[in-house]
Amino acid sequence: MSTPDDVTALVEQVEAQERELVLARFTHDDAWRLGRHLVDLATERDLPVTVDVRKGPQQVFHAAREGTTADNDSWVERKVRVVERFGASSYLVGLRARAQGHDFNAKHQLPLQEYAAHGGAFPVRVDGVGIVGVVTVSGLAQGDDHALVVEALRSHAGAAHP
């Protein structure tokens, strides 16, 4: 079980990732390339994940690898709703609730079957514009879903890995 210090450090780390991963642009073609890159990473590592990339309200890319089920699609939808409502990654929203000692769904009076503050959905931000989409992975432990999205976004943005 993680300590409050561990959760606080994770919150700071994810906040830094969100500040770092701001793109110059995000077109439909960019969304497709990002989704394809995530599928390529998952294929190379034999990861059973569902990948979803949205630009605004439009789902531009969606793929489900072997080993996933329709339940992963539900997780994607629930995580995306968290990003759209709170303007931060689903992992960060969940970590902040944990750091404050709250149950996310109870605190915000949100139904569990509609909102999941678990890692894997990340806002796509464009410099000078703000959030223009969401990229999501579902199928791994929440920290691993989040890390895979961050890795792909860094690669897409051309940012150096730390």
Q: Which residue, among 12, 98, 145, 42, has the nearest Cα to 134 in the 3D structure?
A: 145
Q: What is the pLDDT of residue 58?
A: 97
Residue 47 DSSP one-character state = -
Q: Is the pLDDT of residue 155 over 70?
A: yes
The chain-wide mean pLDDT, for the chain, equals 94
pLDDT digits (tens, 9 = 90+) for 93-126: 999 999 999 999 999 999 999 999 999 999 999 9
pLDDT classification of 5: cutoffs 50, 70, 90: confident
Domains and CATH numbers, the chain: 4-157 (3.30.450.150)
Q: What is the pLDDT of residue 158?
A: 83
Q: What is the pLDDT of residue 4?
A: 65
